[in-house]
Amino acid sequence: MDLEALDDLLDDHPTDDKYTDRVVRAPFSFHGSKSRSIPHLMPHLPHLDVWVDVFGGSGVVTLNRKPAKKLDVYNDRWSGVVAFFRCVRDPDKRERMIEQLSYMPHSKEDFYDCKQTWFQHDDVDRAVRWYYMLSTSYGSVARNWGYGIASSFGHKFKDNIKLFPEIGGRFLNVQIENDDFRVILDRYDSLRTVFYCDPPYFDSHQAGSYQHKMTENDHIDLLDRIHGMNGFVAVSSYRNKLYDSYAWDHVHEWVLKGSNHGTKRGKNVHREGADVSVNRKEVVYIKEVG
């Protein structure tokens, strides 16, 4: 959706300057990213004292909100993405990251080297290797090297480097966590807190693509906790019987027309057997404050 369409959508929902003036891109692709849902999702997220992005991922939802009144929190269990955001908000480390990444080739050998060693490094090298591994992988799930057969695939991670200064600026005063959702929900719950949860989707074939998976019992624990909390909670998902069995205050749906990671006719398929374009219905389940 372009900016004009986003403005039309937000005009129906007074924002009080809660959202950015344009859709801010995430610094990397991420499995399950909400980049394309931003115009639909943002009008349903209020602006209170504390904002907590519980399953932060690419950070795109936090990036498209203006700072909360008192505290912004980003959390993700994957230490690699947390290392990236920690470094990109530090001007000196950010410049070192940009310098290293700008000269890295799109190379299968480099991809597997980064995949095998990124966690063995500290600070900038760790963030650089994690970012390169994710950005040059098929489907951005850090499993297999991605390559182009009709157009360049490797340019995308270098194009996204241009976003680093803006991303770093937004995350400068964000409190970054690397913990289990249970800890985060308990730690920050209050009547003035807005939680956004984008967990690996329940009962979805894509759930296995996440680094930290959730069992059915994990989802039940998440939902039980949410309905015993004081704060406002919004949860993204596909529609499913488990989530529908809970008493939500609101449920909002929208259809995303788009593609998975491959395209039709093999014109730019990055891995054998890549999926073709599909439409999908996104849902956000909402529990109000109290």
Q: Per-residue pLDDT averaged across 94-114, rounded?
A: 92
pLDDT at 279 over 70: yes
Q: How far apart are CA 57 and CA 49, in angstroms?
A: 22
pLDDT at 64 over 90: yes
- Evaluate whether 181 touches 54 at the Cβ level (below 8 Å): yes
109-136 per-position pLDDT tens digit:
999 999 999 888 788 999 999 999 988 8
Q: How far apart are CA 277 and CA 263, in angstroms?
A: 6
Q: Mean pLDDT lowest for which of 10-19, 64-73, 146-155? A: 10-19
Answer with the residue of higher pLDDT: 91 or 280: 91
Q: Please state the CATH superfamily assignment of the domain spanning residues 3-287 in this structure.
A: Vaccinia Virus protein VP39 (3.40.50.150)
Q: Which of 3-17, 27-41, 142-156, 163-177 has the highest mean pLDDT?
A: 163-177
pLDDT at 209 over 90: no
Whether pTM exceeds 0.85: no
Q: What is the pLDDT of residue 266?
A: 39
Q: What is the pLDDT of residue 17?
A: 58
Q: What is the pLDDT of residue 122?
A: 80
Q: What is the pLDDT of residue 21?
A: 63
Mean pLDDT, all residues of the chain: 83
- Evaluate whether 248 touches 285 at the Cβ level (below 8 Å): yes
Instruction: For the chain, give the percent of residues with pLDDT over 90.
Output: 59
pLDDT at 29 over 50: yes
187 token code pair: 């730690």
Domain ranges of the chain: 3-287
Q: What is the pLDDT of residue 269?
A: 39
Q: Per-residue pLDDT averaged across 147-167, rounded?
A: 81
Answer with the residue of higher pLDDT: 47 or 33: 47
Three-class SS string for the chain? Answer: CCHHHHHHHHHCCCCCCCECCCCCCCCCCCCCCCHHHHHHHHHHCCCCCEEEECCCCCCHHHHCECCCCCEEEEECCCHHHHHHHHHHCCHHHHHHHHHHHHCCCCCHHHHHHHHHHHHHCCHHHHHHHHHHHHHCEHHHCCCCECCCCCCCCCHHHHHHHHHHHHHHHHHCCEEEECCCHHHHHHHHCCCCEEEEECCCCCCCCCHHHCCCCCCHHHHHHHHHHHCCCCCEEEEEECCCHHHHCCCCCEEEEEEEEECCCCCHHHCCCCCCCCCCCEEEEEEEEEECCC
Q: Per-residue pLDDT averaged across 25-30, rounded?
A: 82
Q: How far apart are CA 231 and CA 135, in angstroms?
A: 35
